[in-house]
Amino acid sequence: MRRKIAFLMVVATTLIFANVSYGQNSPAPAASGSPIDATLFTTYTIDSAHTNVSWLVCGSTQNTSGCYASGNLGPFGKVGALMEGNPKTDLSTNTVTRAIYVLDIASGSNLNEVELSVYTKTDTITPDSDAVSVTLSSTVNLPLVGGTSARASMAANNKFLFIGTNRSPEAVELDKRTFSISQFTGSSNTSSITADNMATSL
């Protein structure tokens, strides 16, 4: 019997093997009081081999519209899930910073290890442009079983990431700030994970 790990209400979505957009779908001037990146969005595309992720930032600023930056993440053994973290805005520098979490489920020489890559994405927004930088800030080896045919589940709240694969009954809770790991074991392999924003532990 497959096991579902549930953390009350679902507030995060696992993004697996898909094109993913964040932000507003069509360019429009930001309303007063809106986030400074409200009219910008990022599309993530995973290639057919699930080894590379490309990203593209488009939308509009106060005076312009179009696409402003692009790049690639990887290579990975196999991308099992991808998720953006919550934005942090600094109005004094007109920057918006957020984490990008990429889960590699076929890492290591035997392609069966699970590794989380954490990138920092920073948008510096002016009336005429959005300058974007994406840098790798951390990699975390997770005590999970992966593989090229494995499937991953990942969800999050404000404090933690919750991650598992269908190859083992173990799942982990990862602190977003310290990257400390708590491991939990169920009676059957993990099939899905959901999270509630108020949850503090599994």
Q: What is the pLDDT of residue 3?
A: 42
**Residue 67 to residues 39, 40, 43, 94, 157, Cα–Cα distance (Å):** 12, 9, 11, 18, 30
Q: What is the pLDDT of residue 34?
A: 84
> Contact at 8 Å (CB) between 17 and 50?
yes
Per residue in 11-64, pLDDT (tens digit) is: 333 343 334 444 433 334 455 568 999 999 999 999 999 999 999 999 999 999
Global pTM? 0.82
Residue 80 inside a domain? The answer is yes
Residue 105 inside a domain? The answer is yes
Residue 199 inside a domain? The answer is no
Residue 53 inside a domain? The answer is yes
3-class SS shares of the chain: helix, strand, coil, % to 5: 0, 50, 50
Q: What is the pLDDT of residue 33?
A: 66
Q: Following DSSP, what letter does each residue of 40-89 receive, concatenated?
A: EEEEEEE-TTSS-EEEEEEEE-SS-EEEEEEEEE---S-EEEEEE---EE
Q: How far is CA 72 from the centre of its chain?
A: 14
**Residue 49 in tokens:** 């081999």
Q: What is the pLDDT of residue 168?
A: 92
What domain range includes position 125? 3-193
Rounded Cα distance, 61 and 140, in Å: 35
Mean pLDDT of the 107-115 span? 97
Residue 202 inside a domain? The answer is no
Dihedral, CA of residue 89, residue 92, residue 93 and residue 97, to nearest 10: -10
Q: What is the pLDDT of residue 9?
A: 29
Rounded Cα distance, 156 and 165, in Å: 15
Residue 198 inside a domain? The answer is no
Q: What is the pLDDT of residue 12?
A: 34
Q: What is the pLDDT of residue 189?
A: 87
Per residue in 63-94, pLDDT (tens digit) is: 999 999 999 999 999 999 999 999 999 999 99
Tell me the β-bridge partners of 42: 22, 57
Q: What is the pLDDT of residue 16?
A: 38
Q: What is the pLDDT of residue 192?
A: 85
Residue 76 inside a domain? The answer is yes
Model confidence band, residue 188 (pLDDT cutoffs 50, 70, 90): confident
For residue 60, count other CB atoms closer than 10 A to its CB. 20
Tell which wins on pLDDT, 195 or 141: 141
Q: Return the amino acid letter for 65.
A: S
Domain count, the chain: 1
Q: Return the amino acid letter for 69.
A: A
Rounded Cα distance, 159 and 12, in Å: 12
Residue 197 scores a pLDDT above 70: no
**Range of weakest confidence among 10-14, 36-40, 185-189, 197-201:** 10-14
> Contact at 8 Å (CB) between 172 and 160?
no
Residue 200 inside a domain? The answer is no
